[in-house]
Amino acid sequence: MDLAELQKHALELLAQLERPPCILRIQVGEISVDITWADQTRPAQVGVISTAVAEEADGEALGRYLTSPGVGVFYHAREPGAEPFVAVGSVVRPGEQIGILEAMKLMIPIEADRGGRIAEVLKGDGEPVEYGEPLFVLDVEEV
Amino acid sequence: MFDKVLIANRGEIAMRIARACRELGIKAVAVYSTEDRNSSVVSYADEAVHIGPGPAKRSYLNIPAIVEAARKTHSAAIHPGYGFLSEDADFAEVCEQNGLVFVGPPSDVIAQLGDKCAARRLMAGAGLPILPGSHGPVLTPDEALAVARRIGFPVIIKAATGGGGRGMRVVHDESEMAGAFKVVSGESRAVFGDSRLYVERYVASARHIEVQILCDTHGKAVHLGVRDCSVQRRHQKLLEECPAPRLPQGVVDQMGEASVVGAKAAGYVGVGTFEFLVDETCDFFFMEANCRIQVEHPVTELVFGIDLVQEQLRVAAGGRLTSEQSDVVGRGVAMECRINVEDPSRSFAPAPGRIESFVLPTGPFVRVDTHGYPGYRMPATYDSLLAKVITWAPTRDQAIARMERALGEFHATGPGICTTAEFLRRVLADEEFRSGAHDTGLVSRVLGEAP
């Protein structure tokens, strides 16, 4: 994540707060966010924010998944019978194609928004998915 | 009838449609953005599909996501509500191509009525009175000036594809034309993606009165009287009532019949609204046709005893209208107040946030349509409508008294939350409003600001 991107996420986060904090601390490796308000003695923990799903803020869980970027049908491979893009054990890098989303007859490549080892495949080939739905469990620590 | 209907909308109207579905025994599918994941309709509907992140462009305006959600849930039809994709001819066409019933008129009808220049021409051809103005789009400030000289100042410049009170400006004299033209065409291009404009006479002291129509797919059409929507601030409606006060029944009938003729000329299907300007002498002029259910539809429902959303679903499924025009009889007076999270003391700036305490009016003849609940965080991403409070009574005075009582029972508080409820009570207390002699200038007079 570069500085401009970080700044954008920080501003988005601030916009969601009910009142301005006096300290906002963001760490990028092992992403963590600390927010302190003036009348508070302990910093509040806000959920982990990943680059792709910053607005989810659904707690730490989403940091472990690669999620669907849209609504449609999810495919593992370029065509029926072909090798899947990734399988359990594959190591993916950010930007690497991990599947295809078909939406209204358009085939849209799905790319990993961050790297790691695929620990589990959650959605079957040809299965309908929603926006933000977890597709793969990612093991980040192993890499 | 359909087995399952997808609701391509959010907020109070999504709840309204889901309730109509439930009463008809139809399964309702909600779609939602990340911002709305805790919304009422997500838990109320039989199924819910997450279609995208907060910004409407990527969720509620995202046609592929909505069509895929309909396919995933095996929905037979899509109800678009109001706003968002409700009057998008392309969306209606995509639904038609994908074997989904779009709950609304056919795409070509939406396209024709959505272009206000084309709609004006069509309705004038069908014999409806229209205000003097340009016969087609005006392309330059000079062309607009020539039209204005012919019909006389003041005039209003409007975007051909505008709506919702945006993309229009009053021009009082020749010196204002060039500047106003530039502003409106710029706004029109930015908001509606179309910079075509037209010019018509501006009527300063006018009432905004609209006719509710209902048409089936077998060529039958009826009208359900009129609504007065003259209580507006900067073309945003704040309070509506049915019927229009001080409008003779003869004029109501003429407006209704003209609308039915216009609807048939356009090949209209479903529920729709014909908007008119009515001047001091009760002459009326066609303004535009809206191809959707309106925010203010409940006042018509209470007076006519007809569930418009259910009717909309019935005719979309191919059902026939069973009522004749003579069977459609209104009774009493209904009034609707729109409670927005806005701060009237800061020029109605949006004041969203988390609603901590939320108490709704109840009691005799009060209806509230809302998606709010205690603890609900009203997002800043979408429009500011929180609740519609609707009252019915045999007479207008009683409906006003009942509304004053109901608004007094309404409470929504939370950090940063501010609503228009108190301001609406000021409107109800206004002598001019109570006499029913008000026009669209009422709110600016109450506020003491320029219209």
Tens of pLDDT, residue by residue over B239-286, are 999 999 999 999 999 999 999 999 999 999 999 999 999 999 999 999
Cβ atoms of B14 and B90 within 8 Å: the answer is no
CATH 3.40.50.20 domain extents, chain B: 4-103
Share of chain B above pLDDT 70, in %: 99
- Across the interface, which of A55, A72, A104 has its CB nearest the CB of B34? A55
Instruction: Kindly state the helix (H) or strand (E) to which residue B215 belongs, with its residue range.
Output: strand B207-215
Asked if pLDDT for residue B298 goes beyond 80, the answer is yes
- Across the interface, which of A19, A55, A73 has its CB nearest the CB of B54? A55
Report pLDDT for A62.
56
**Domain with residues A66-139, CATH architecture:** Beta Barrel (2.40)
Asked if pLDDT for residue B129 goes beyond 70, the answer is yes
- Across the interface, which of A18, A104, A130 has its CB nearest the CB of B49? A130
Chain B: give the shortest CA distance to residue A102, in Å.
9
The predicted model gives B415-432 an average pLDDT of: 96
CA dist A83 and A78 (Å) reads 8
Report pLDDT for A42.
36
Backbone angles phi, psi at B412, to 5 degrees: -135, 115
Which of A55, A131, A133, A135 to mutate to probe the B interface, most B CBs <10 Å? Answer: A131
Q: Tell which wins on pLDDT, B361 or B163.
A: B361
Task: List the B385-393 sheet strands across, edge first.
Answer: B284-290, B270-278, B207-215, B221-233, B236-242, B333-340, B385-393, B366-370
| Beta strand residue intervals within A23-139, DSSP E | 23-27, 32-36, 44-46, 65-67, 72-75, 91-92, 97-103, 106-111, 116-121, 127-129, 134-139
CA atoms within 13 A on the CB side of B4: 15
Contacts of A106 in chain B (CB under 8 A): 64
| Distance between first and last Cα of chain B | 46
Question: Tokens 């065409």 label which residue?
Answer: B185
The reply to whether B64 touches chain A by the CB within 8 Å rule is yes
Chain A: give the shortest CA distance to residue B231, in Å.
33
Asked if pLDDT for residue A41 goes beyond 70, the answer is no
Per DSSP, what are the bridge partners of residue B318?
none
Q: How many of the other CB atoms lie within 10 Å of CB of B139?
A: 12
> Cβ separation of B68 and A133 shorter than 8 Å?
no
Question: CA-nearest residue of chain B to A106?
Answer: B64
Report pLDDT for A30.
61
The predicted model gives A108-117 an average pLDDT of: 93
The reply to whether A132 touches chain B by the CB within 8 Å rule is yes
Cβ atoms of A112 and A124 within 8 Å: the answer is no
* Number of helices (H), then strands (E), in chain A: 1, 11
What are the distances in angstroms from CA B239 to CA B165, B236, B269, B307, B429?
Answer: 15, 10, 27, 20, 13
The reply to whether B316 touches chain A by the CB within 8 Å rule is no
CATH 2.40.50.100 domain extents, chain A: 66-139
Burial string for B190-218 (b: 16+ CB within 10 Å, else e) reads: eebebbbbbbbbbbeebbbbbbbbbbbbe
Quickly state the pLDDT bin for A59 (edges 50, 70, 90).
Answer: very low
Q: Which class would CATH give B132-201?
A: alpha beta
Among A83, A90, A77, A76, CA closest to A118: A90
Report pLDDT for B161.
85
Q: Which CATH superfamily is domain B207-447 in?
A: ATP-grasp fold, B domain (3.30.470.20)
Asked if pLDDT for residue B122 goes beyond 90, the answer is yes
Q: Can you read off the two tokens belonging to residue B343?
A: 């701060």
Q: Which fold has domain B4-103?
A: Rossmann fold (3.40.50)
Just list the catalytic residues of B: 292
Determine the 3-state secondary structure of B49 from DSSP.
strand
